[in-house]
Amino acid sequence: MAFTEDVVKNAFDRVNGYCQVCGKKLVYASRGSAQGRGGWEARHIKPVLEGGKDEVRNCMIVCMECYNAPAPVRSGERPPARVEGPRFGER
Ligand SMILES: [Zn+2]
Protein backbone atom coordinates (compact mmCIF):
# COMPACT_ATOMS: atom_id res chain seq x y z
CA MET A 1 0.00 0.00 0.00
CA ALA A 2 2.97 2.30 0.30
CA PHE A 3 6.21 2.86 -1.51
CA THR A 4 9.41 1.74 0.12
CA GLU A 5 12.13 4.30 0.76
CA ASP A 6 14.16 2.75 -2.06
CA VAL A 7 11.40 3.10 -4.62
CA VAL A 8 10.72 6.69 -3.64
CA LYS A 9 14.41 7.59 -3.80
CA ASN A 10 14.72 5.99 -7.23
CA ALA A 11 11.66 7.79 -8.51
CA PHE A 12 12.92 11.08 -7.09
CA ASP A 13 16.32 10.63 -8.77
CA ARG A 14 14.65 9.65 -12.01
CA VAL A 15 12.91 13.03 -12.26
CA ASN A 16 16.01 14.85 -10.95
CA GLY A 17 13.97 16.21 -8.07
CA TYR A 18 11.38 18.13 -10.05
CA CYS A 19 7.62 17.98 -9.65
CA GLN A 20 6.28 15.84 -12.47
CA VAL A 21 3.19 18.01 -12.77
CA CYS A 22 4.36 21.63 -12.56
CA GLY A 23 8.13 21.22 -12.79
CA LYS A 24 8.92 22.89 -9.48
CA LYS A 25 12.28 22.06 -7.90
CA LEU A 26 11.90 19.89 -4.81
CA VAL A 27 14.06 19.11 -1.82
CA TYR A 28 14.44 15.43 -1.00
CA ALA A 29 14.61 16.07 2.72
CA SER A 30 11.32 17.97 2.59
CA ARG A 31 9.16 14.98 1.74
CA GLY A 32 5.74 15.32 3.30
CA SER A 33 6.38 18.87 4.39
CA ALA A 34 3.58 21.28 3.55
CA GLN A 35 5.51 24.24 4.90
CA GLY A 36 8.44 25.98 3.33
CA ARG A 37 10.04 25.27 -0.01
CA GLY A 38 10.57 22.02 -1.78
CA GLY A 39 7.85 20.00 -0.07
CA TRP A 40 6.69 17.00 -2.07
CA GLU A 41 5.12 13.59 -1.86
CA ALA A 42 5.11 10.37 -3.81
CA ARG A 43 1.85 9.25 -5.29
CA HIS A 44 0.70 6.26 -7.28
CA ILE A 45 0.21 6.87 -10.99
CA LYS A 46 -2.22 3.98 -11.12
CA PRO A 47 -4.13 3.82 -7.84
CA VAL A 48 -3.52 0.80 -5.66
CA LEU A 49 -7.26 0.20 -5.68
CA GLU A 50 -7.05 -0.27 -9.44
CA GLY A 51 -4.16 -2.68 -9.22
CA GLY A 52 -1.30 -0.19 -9.17
CA LYS A 53 1.92 -1.54 -7.69
CA ASP A 54 4.40 0.02 -5.28
CA GLU A 55 7.15 0.21 -7.87
CA VAL A 56 9.23 2.97 -9.41
CA ARG A 57 7.32 3.08 -12.68
CA ASN A 58 4.07 3.57 -10.80
CA CYS A 59 5.56 6.23 -8.56
CA MET A 60 5.03 9.88 -9.36
CA ILE A 61 6.88 12.68 -7.63
CA VAL A 62 4.74 15.75 -7.09
CA CYS A 63 5.07 18.92 -5.05
CA MET A 64 2.66 19.40 -2.17
CA GLU A 65 0.48 21.79 -4.15
CA CYS A 66 0.01 19.33 -6.96
CA TYR A 67 -0.34 16.47 -4.51
CA ASN A 68 -3.25 18.16 -2.82
CA ALA A 69 -4.84 19.48 -5.98
CA PRO A 70 -7.68 17.46 -7.44
CA ALA A 71 -6.64 15.10 -10.19
CA PRO A 72 -6.78 16.82 -13.57
CA VAL A 73 -9.83 15.94 -15.60
CA ARG A 74 -9.00 15.02 -19.15
CA SER A 75 -11.30 16.32 -21.83
CA GLY A 76 -14.00 13.87 -22.72
CA GLU A 77 -13.93 12.29 -19.31
CA ARG A 78 -16.44 12.92 -16.63
CA PRO A 79 -15.02 14.11 -13.32
CA PRO A 80 -15.01 11.41 -10.66
CA ALA A 81 -18.11 11.39 -8.53
CA ARG A 82 -16.11 10.56 -5.44
CA VAL A 83 -14.14 13.37 -3.82
CA GLU A 84 -10.83 12.29 -2.40
CA GLY A 85 -10.08 13.16 1.17
CA PRO A 86 -6.71 14.20 2.51
CA ARG A 87 -4.05 11.63 1.81
CA PHE A 88 -1.31 12.73 4.16
CA GLY A 89 -1.51 9.45 6.00
CA GLU A 90 -0.54 7.47 2.93
CA ARG A 91 3.05 6.39 2.94
ZN1 LIG B 1 3.83 20.62 -8.68
**Ligand 1 centroid – CA 21 distance (Å):** 5
**Ligand 1 centroid – CA 17 distance (Å):** 11
**Ligand 1 centroid – CA 24 distance (Å):** 6
| Number of neighbours of residue 7 by Cβ within 10 angstroms | 18
What local confidence, expressed as pLDDT, does residue 36 receive? 75
- Check residue 51 and give left, alpha or beta (phi > 0: left; psi -120 to 50: alpha): left
Which residues in the chain land under pLDDT 50?
Answer: none
pTM of the full predicted structure?
0.73
